[in-house]
Amino acid sequence: MTQNTKDFHSGVVALIGPPNAGKSTLLNTIVGEKVAIVSPKPQTTRNQITGIYTRDTVQAVFLDTPGIHQSGIKLNRCMVDAAWKALAGADLVVLMLDGLRYSSRPEHWRRDLAPLIKPLQKLAQPFFVVVNKIDKIGSPEKVFPLLARCGNEWPGTEVFPVSAVKGTGVEAMLKRIVDTLPSGPPLYDEDQLSTLPLRFMVTEIIREKLFLTMQDEIPYNLAVDIDAWDDHAGPNLVGITATIYVSKANYKGMIIGKGGQTLKKVGSMARPEIAELVGSKIFLELWVKVKPRWNENTPFMTGMGLGG
Ligand SMILES: Nc1nc2c(ncn2[C@@H]2O[C@H](COP(=O)(O)OP(=O)(O)OP(=O)(O)O)[C@@H](O)[C@H]2O)c(=O)[nH]1
Ligand SMILES: [Mg+2]
């Protein structure tokens, strides 16, 4: 970095909110690359995901987080803990809400936001609210009451209507974020987009394809781990072996599918993205193993990097 650090602004921005609000989508739009996995199902993100935005005189380190929700399952409680922990070291907090959800079903507001309203009223850091999915809300008249409702819950807070998918309103929001960050040197190299290890990103890509392919409770009862990684599996070929852990025996057959078709499809969906990420051809081998009640097993989850 060559900038005079006196004129440079940098800091950590925690992105929090209920599940499915579009936090990971926004992170990818801001960074300009896919660093976080996205799916139409809630509770897709399970860890803090870093995305780094660097421009001439600013670096904002965004922390995407799991959606905040109520659950008795240990995995889910670890996910929610990871979201709250992101606030501790943040210079700025951004709450993201699914505007489409509350414009069509206002009754969801109270229940979804119950755990968030008071803690966010007491924040020490600057705090913005982002109302997402305005591309699907329709007329601006339907957006205004939501913006007003945010103003009532968190008086004085700046509220930004955006479409994370289309990019609408994102520049205006980013400008205010950047202006709010404190003076300080860049924390990471200017071309670094994330701090996530490559192996973790590979397991996330596989997990995203499983979230997109599997229905009902199965996505919530699986975890992916890398067993083996061979950078020299052949000329310009990386060999990766990964295991999909499931909490119940009957999920195994469903993921494998008739004649292995479902697992094959997941592998075909994941392979091109992994190859692009790794920067070479890849050989991907997927296994499915039963690990009963893994999502209640703290040592197992810690070993998988969940809830740390
Ligand atoms: N129409 C529309 N859909 C969006 C927008 N942003 C996100 N989505 C969709 O909303 C769904 C959830 O997006 P995610 O980015 O995974 O949401 P999240 O807040 O990270 O969800 P969790 O990780 O489960 O907490 C996906 O199907 C996205 O494509 C948007 O601006 N407009
Ligand atoms: Mg997410």
In a domain, 188, yes or no: no
In a domain, 202, yes or no: yes
- For the CA of 162, the closest atom of ligand 1 is 31
CA of 21 to the centre of ligand 1 (A): 5
Which residue's alpha carbon is at the smallest distance from atom 11 of ligand 1? 40
Report whether residue 133 contacts ligand 1, using a CB cutoff of 6 Å: yes
pLDDT number for residue 140: 86
In a domain, 133, yes or no: yes
Q: Which of 180, 213, 243 is the last residue of a domain?
A: 180
Residues with CB under 5 A from ligand 2 (ion): 24, 44-45
Report whether residue 19 contacts ligand 1, using a CB cutoff of 6 Å: yes
Hey, which of 38, 41, 75 would you mutate to test ligand 1's pocket, going by the most ligand atoms within 8 Å of its Cβ? 38
In a domain, 147, yes or no: yes
- Residues 256, 283, single domain; the answer is yes
pLDDT number for residue 1: 47
Which residue's alpha carbon is at the smallest distance from atom 8 of ligand 1? 22
CA of 202 to the centre of ligand 2 (A): 16
Which of 25, 35, 38 lies closest to 166 in space, CA to CA?
25
Which residue's alpha carbon is at the smallest distance from atom 26 of ligand 1? 40
CATH classification at residue 138: 3.40.50.300
DSSP, res 67: P
pLDDT number for residue 5: 62
- Residues 144, 254, single domain; the answer is no
In a domain, 187, yes or no: no
- Residues 9, 117, single domain; the answer is yes
In a domain, 192, yes or no: no
In a domain, 70, yes or no: yes
Report whether residue 76 contacts ligand 1, using a CB cutoff of 6 Å: no
- Residues 168, 203, single domain; the answer is no
- Residues 118, 19, single domain; the answer is yes
**At a CB cut-off of 8 Å and minimum separation 6, what does 221 contact?**
246, 247, 248, 251, 295
The closest ligand to the CA of 40 turns out to be: 1
Chunk the chain into consecutive blocks of 10 residues (it has 308) and report each block's average pLDDT, rounded to whole numbers.
71 98 98 97 97 97 97 96 95 98 94 94 96 94 94 95 98 97 96 95 98 97 98 96 97 97 98 97 98 96 82
Range of the domain at 220: 198-303
- Residues 124, 162, single domain; the answer is yes
Please state the domain count of the chain.
2
Tokens of 212: 């997109």
- Residues 157, 211, single domain; the answer is no
- Residues 24, 157, single domain; the answer is yes
- Residues 141, 235, single domain; the answer is no
Q: Which residue has the tokens 């913005």?
A: 128
- The size of the chain, in residues, is 308
- Residues 152, 237, single domain; the answer is no
- Residues 170, 251, single domain; the answer is no
Q: Give one DSSP letter per residue of 87-151, joined into a string.
A: HHT-SEEEEEEEHHHHHH-TTHHHHHHTTTHHHHHT-SS-EEEEEE-GGGT-SHHHHHHHHHHHH
- Residues 140, 88, single domain; the answer is yes
**At a CB cut-off of 8 Å and minimum separation 6, what does 175 contact?**
none
Tell how strand 92-98 and strand 58-64 pair up: unpaired
CATH classification at residue 262: 3.30.300.20
In a domain, 102, yes or no: yes
pTM flag (> 0.85): yes
